[in-house]
Chains A and B, each alone.
Chain A
């Protein structure tokens, strides 16, 4: 059995239960704030944004582990963490834009540091795959990608800190340097949903790792059948290779 398939079902189930519970608490139990029903997007947009940023940092941590150990599994973890974080961030930015349109009357505000800085982080990580794709040698590809993930991952908390210190923003701060400002019941619903989204992220990342390791194993078997250990995968690939 593929090690990445282990606990995948349990993790997916836990994510589904906690997400359902978190959203049910958010919609049915927690009160609305002054903005009304539109505030319910909060239980979607904010956890997505937080998890995506954590995912980017995680990609850097895994990248550092790869550079330290030289084990390919860390490179793959870094790749999958960043890939999943990108997917979450795209969903986060679209849902945020919908919220902004309903609440502020604009899809996007270039004068808003929180939005622009988040967008810059996403753009930066969008270059991760093209960077990998541009390097043919798998060893060098992994090394350069790890360095990129560390530098870009370190930029995320710095960016968060800089935006937190800025004063001219209209975007509400859920997590700030003083520990956040969510009232009572909303906090319970929010943190339940946040853990749910976190588990979903972990489950999807495991799913992607399963897909990648299956592909790597398939290539290895093909090479074995061809009787040639030096057969390279057809074409370039941005994904880690065996």
Chain B
């Protein structure tokens, strides 16, 4: 049974292999983190805008409805 220390001395290349895989991991993690932040912020903005738009449309419909009611009220 070989110990970890023996294995390390046998494989001088271990740091290089670890470094290469860490570079890849770092690139992917950084990219995904940036994208996830953008997507979540974008979807939040979108939800806010949709709510604002719905509110505005609702107000416009109510205004229109009110105007129609006023027109149909008997005068005098």
In the complex, A36 has a CB within 8 A of chain B: yes
* Cβ B45 vs Cβ A218 within 8 A: yes
Q: Which residues of A contact B49 (CB under 8 A)?
A: 218, 221-222, 225
Given A217-B46, A218-B49, A211 and B39 touching (CB < 8 A)? yes
- Whole-angstrom distance between the alpha carbons of A204 and B43 in the complex? 18
Return A113 CB to nearest CB of chain B, in Å.
22
Q: Which residue of A lies closest to B36 (CB)?
A: A207
Q: Which residue of B lies closest to A224 (CB)?
A: B53
Residues of A within 8 A of B (CB): 36-38, 40-41, 44-45, 48, 87, 90-91, 94-95, 98-99, 101-102, 200, 204, 207-208, 210-211, 214-215, 217-218, 221-222, 224-225
A41: contacting residue among B16, B32, B52, CB under 8 A: B16
A218: contacting residue among B13, B31, B42, CB under 8 A: B42
* Cβ B53 vs Cβ A225 within 8 A: yes
How many B residues are at the interface, by size bracket?
Answer: 20 to 34
Q: Which residue of A lies closest to B50 (CB)?
A: A221
Given A99-B16, A225-B52, A37 and B24 touching (CB < 8 A)? no
Return A79 CB to nearest CB of chain B, in Å.
14
Residues of B within 8 A of A (CB): 11, 13-14, 16-17, 19-21, 23-24, 27-28, 31-32, 35, 38-39, 42-43, 45-46, 49-50, 52-53, 56
Q: Which residue of B lies closest to A95 (CB)?
A: B20
Return A11 CB to nearest CB of chain B, in Å.
13
* Cβ B20 vs Cβ A41 within 8 A: yes
Return B36 CB to nearest CB of chain A, in Å.
8
Given A41-B17, A41-B20, A204 and B42 touching (CB < 8 A)? no
- Whole-angstrom distance between the alpha carbons of A95 and B43 in the complex? 35
- Whole-angstrom distance between the alpha carbons of A90 and B30 in the complex? 13
A44: contacting residue among B13, B20, B38, B42, CB under 8 A: B20
Q: Which residues of A contact B38 (CB under 8 A)?
A: 211, 214-215
* Cβ B42 vs Cβ A214 within 8 A: yes
Q: Which residue of B lies closest to A221 (CB)?
A: B49
